[in-house]
Amino acid sequence: MSARISDGRRHAPRVLMVLDGPFPSDRGGGAEAQVGLLAAAMRKRRQRVTVVTPMAAGGPMTPVSRVNGVPVCRLRYPRIRRLGGPCLWLALAGLLFARRRRYDVCHVHVARSLAVVCSLVGPLLGKRVVIKVSGSWDLERGALAPDARLPGRIARLCLRRADAWQAISRRIASTLASRGMPPARIVAIPNAVDCGAIRATAGIASRSNRYGDGTRLVFVGRLVEEKDLPTLLEAFAEASAARPALRLAIVGSGPLADVLAAHADALAIADRVEFTGHVEDVRAMLAGADFGVLPSRFEGLSNALLECMAARLPMIASRISGNEDFVRDRENGWLFEPGDRAGLVAALLSATDTPDETRRAMGARARETVLRQAGIDAVLCRLRAVYEGRRDAVCTAADVERSH
């Protein structure tokens, strides 16, 4: 499929963004955040985009609405075991057919059952299908798992019909190729971040807080097992014993909140660690920090990592998918092996001992890295190349300018 032509000018492809969960979601989520950011940015640039999502618990119950001006279609289906899934698939197939004259591309933001439906129906209607893979679930437990059972292997054959695969990290891209997806269809395009919005508030927050003027670390994310926050607390306890001015803010909520607070008490660091709970807008928290920290054992690509770096925070991050694409050790942050408490302690001490001028230079390089690789304009430009079926998804400065 090529871009539509009207009066000799190339028009941006019309996009259906397909999610497998509610949108917007009252529980948040990286995929939902990315769809919201991309869809709103496309609309701002006068590109037609519609979000398609199940009418599921945790989200609105209206069949059609607008979110930040973007149309959202929600598919009804019965919440009945073994029946709900097939009904949802049929509802999506019906929508793809009924609206076939209103879109050019299906961009599916998870490689699960709805991606299978789009991969089967899209080519029959002459529509391009782009599937995004953003995390370990799709690669380790779904149809793309190395030990997938017969239904999963059949689903994988269907998914191979997709025109393109968006891998949000280089490690995911290589894993997709190893799982049998055609390498020529795989494009490494990271999650996007609106650097302009973060820059608008950076520096507004006071640098002083209830902890005084010590070195401030900030973690942003869900309080869940994969983030490996017990290791962070233990490493922080050791580092702060040597550097008493070190302070840590843990921003977010999740099932481990009480366990982590108790762990901080047991480590005798409760007076140096602040658990903020869920914060709707984290930009003020970032503006009041010196360094970001992300100790996860696995990620696809953390939105929090991108936001911290966009806020000019050098990152202390585990060497995993996504992190390793953006953090350059001792250039714009520090990398340590996942689960390596001693390595994390060394990184924390090195960050604490970094002179202010060096820290600011590292923060500037962190922001430059994110702006170049994951800035919203650059990501939209590369996605448009994929939507249009161009082999080259590398954009020039002139291409980025035209995406406005």
- For the chain, list the domains and their CATH numbers: 5-191+376-402 (3.40.50.2000), 195-374 (3.40.50.2000)
CB 109 within 8 A of CB 17: yes
Q: From CA 381, how far away is CA 401, in angstroms rounded?
A: 9
State the Rg of the chain over Cα: 22
* Per-residue pLDDT at 213: 60
* Positions in the chain short of pLDDT 50: 1-9, 200-212, 394-404
Q: From CA 314, how far away is CA 136, in angstroms rounded?
A: 25
Q: From CA 117, how far away is CA 92, in angstroms rounded?
A: 7
What single DSSP character describes residue 354?
S
Q: Is 79 exposed, middle or buried (0-12, 13-18, 19+ CB in 10 A)?
A: exposed
Q: Which tokens sit at 64?
A: 């059609």
Query: Count of alpha carbons within 13 Å of 53, Cβ hemisphere only?
Result: 28
* Per-residue pLDDT at 396: 41
* Per-residue pLDDT at 404: 41
Residue with tokens 């953003």, as numbered in its chain: 134
> Dihedral (C-alpha) 345, 350, 356, 358: value to the nearest 10 degrees?
-130
Helix (H) or strand (E) run with residue 75 in it: strand 70-75
- Which amino acid type is present at position 236? F
Q: From CA 197, how far away is CA 186, in angstroms rounded?
A: 30
* Beta strands in 200-295, from DSSP E residues, in sequence order: 216-220, 247-251, 273-277, 291-294
Q: Which tokens sit at 275?
A: 């658990």
* Per-residue pLDDT at 403: 42
Q: From CA 73, how far away is CA 162, in angstroms rounded?
A: 22
Q: From CA 397, how far away is CA 61, in angstroms rounded?
A: 42
